[in-house]
């Protein structure tokens, strides 16, 4: 954690800030190792404080040995004076995309109650820590691979057992049960299972509806292993696929494999997106692929970089993100195929190994 703290301090100097008040749970975990559900970090150029309440005193001490503990007792106005008093008029960045209006109001009121010379200045920041998290350390890539492997295994186990008559909810439950019984800490998001025409909605939710023979089923799932997330989508078919399903599936698979093969460091997320989009558009389905090609993934299932039509995020070695093109036809259904990849040595290494459908010819 010390190296991460020092990287943050470098970022603070670049932004002419004297410290950072960290409220986002994943950023807090990234910088301290603390996994509790409540607390703040205050990191300056010469100090690192973790503020949390009685429920987490022992846990924070064990998980965050590089931090001094500030005990949280009462409201913000009760415990912040001690923490802020030594900062004087220094500029402290806060996470504007995470802190609520109410919390900001409470912090401002607590600061205003201090003597004028002891009042720090709260400065809104965006992506201060997220930009540190976007480049994954080797240990993080290993952690993500463990999550990917478990997700692959869960899908493979359940997909070979699915049959007409199972409900979408049953499929989702079987996936979750496998993950939890094989070492997963939970799901990275609520599993999507969409049979037949329901698959035309990219973020469909599982229903009590029974799956039927002769229809495609979109399954989008992921798991949490040690705080790191996976994300996988596969589209299966119950029975013998008809020609229309084969055609659409092959278009999506070609778009995905082309993007995985051609993406290189230095591209923007938008350029990567267009590799897959152009394949789908050339096949006559451009208007049916309306979402971004992918997203970064790590401690959160959606994080930087963004891989979409308008993204200017630069893709670099050590970034992990998804590649997930899809075609969605109202009244018919959809096909989406998603892998997680990591950029290494100038190209994408596909982390996901779950089987995909193959059609001869």
N-term to C-term CA, the chain = 52
Cis peptide before 221 (omega within 30 of 0): no
Name the pLDDT band for 35 (thresholds 50, 70, 90): very high
Q: How far apart are CA 75 and CA 343, in angstroms?
A: 45
CB 117 within 8 A of CB 290: no
Tokens describing residue 280: 């789908």
Q: Which residues pair with 236 in a beta bridge?
A: 217
Q: Which residues pair with 335 in a beta bridge?
A: 327
| Cβ-proximal residues to 307 (8 Å cutoff; 6+ apart), any chain | 269, 272, 273, 292, 293, 294, 295, 296, 313, 315, 321, 322, 323
Assigned domain for 189 exists: yes
- Pair (64, 147) in one structural domain: no
In order of 7, 196, 300, the CA distances from 30 in angstroms are 12, 41, 11
CB 314 within 8 A of CB 263: no
- Pair (144, 263) in one structural domain: yes
Assigned domain for 357 exists: no
Assigned domain for 120 exists: yes
- Pair (181, 291) in one structural domain: yes
- Pair (231, 259) in one structural domain: yes
- Pair (200, 328) in one structural domain: yes
CB 199 within 8 A of CB 177: no
Q: H-helix or E-strand containing 9? A: helix 2-14
Q: How far apart are CA 274 and CA 192, in angstroms?
A: 25
Tens digit of pLDDT for each residue in 180-229? 999 999 999 999 999 999 999 999 999 999 999 999 999 999 999 999 99
| Cβ-proximal residues to 135 (8 Å cutoff; 6+ apart), any chain | 316, 318, 319
Tens digit of pLDDT for each residue in 119-137? 899 999 999 999 999 999 9
Tens digit of pLDDT for each residue in 76-115? 999 998 888 778 779 999 999 999 999 999 999 999 998 8
How many domains does the chain contain in total?
2
Q: H-helix or E-strand containing 60? A: helix 57-63
Tens digit of pLDDT for each residue in 236-283? 999 999 999 999 999 999 999 999 999 999 999 999 999 999 999 999
Tokens describing residue 226: 């040690």
Range of the domain at 335: 138-350
The secondary structure of residue 211, as a DSSP letter, is: P
- Kindly report the CATH number assigned to the domain that includes residue 35: 3.40.350.10
- Pair (337, 211) in one structural domain: yes
Tens digit of pLDDT for each residue in 40-67? 999 999 999 999 999 999 999 999 999 9
């Amino acid at each position: 954690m010390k190296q991460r703290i020092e990287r943050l301090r470098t970022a603070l100097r670049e932004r002419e800030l004297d410290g950072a008040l960290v409220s986002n749970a994943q950023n807090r975990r990234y910088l301290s190792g603390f996994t509790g559900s409540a607390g703040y970090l205050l990191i300056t150029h010469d100090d690192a404080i973790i503020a949390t309440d009685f429920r987490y005193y022992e846990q924070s001490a064990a998980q965050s040995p590089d931090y001094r503990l500030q005990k949280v007792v009462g409201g913000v106005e009760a415990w912040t004076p001690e923490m802020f008093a030594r900062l004087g008029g220094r500029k402290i960045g806060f996470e504007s995309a995470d802190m609520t209006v109410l919390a900001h109001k409470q912090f401002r009121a607590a600061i205003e109650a201090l003597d004028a010379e002891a009042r720090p200045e709260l400065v809104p920041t965006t992506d201060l820590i997220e930009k540190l998290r976007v480049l994954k350390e080797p240990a993080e890539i290993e952690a993500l691979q463990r999550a990917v492997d478990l997700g692959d295994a869960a899908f493979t186990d359940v997909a070979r057992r699915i049959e007409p008559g199972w409900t979408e909810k049953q499929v989702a439950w079987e996936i979750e049960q496998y993950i939890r019984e094989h070492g997963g800490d939970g799901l990275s998001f609520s599993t999507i299972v969409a049979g037949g025409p329901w698959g035309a909605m990219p973020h469909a939710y599982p229903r009590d509806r029974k799956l039927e023979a002769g229809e495609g089923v979109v399954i989008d799932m992921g798991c949490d292993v040690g705080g790191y997330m996976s994300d996988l989508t596969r589209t299966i078919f119950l029975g013998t696929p008809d020609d229309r399903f084969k055609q659409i599936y092959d278009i999506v698979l070609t778009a995905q494999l082309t993007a995985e093969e051609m993406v290189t460091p230095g591209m923007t997320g938008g350029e990567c997106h267009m590799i897959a989009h152009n394949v789908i558009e050339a096949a006559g389905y451009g208007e049916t692929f309306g979402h971004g090609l992918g997203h970064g993934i790590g401690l959160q299932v959606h994080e930087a970089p963004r891989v979409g039509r308008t993204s200017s995020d630069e893709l670099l070695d050590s970034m992990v993100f998804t590649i997930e093109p899809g075609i969605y036809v109202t009244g018919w259904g959809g096909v989406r195929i998603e892998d997680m990849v990591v950029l290494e040595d100038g190209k994408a290494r596909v982390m996901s190994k779950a089987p995909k459908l193959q059609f001869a010819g």
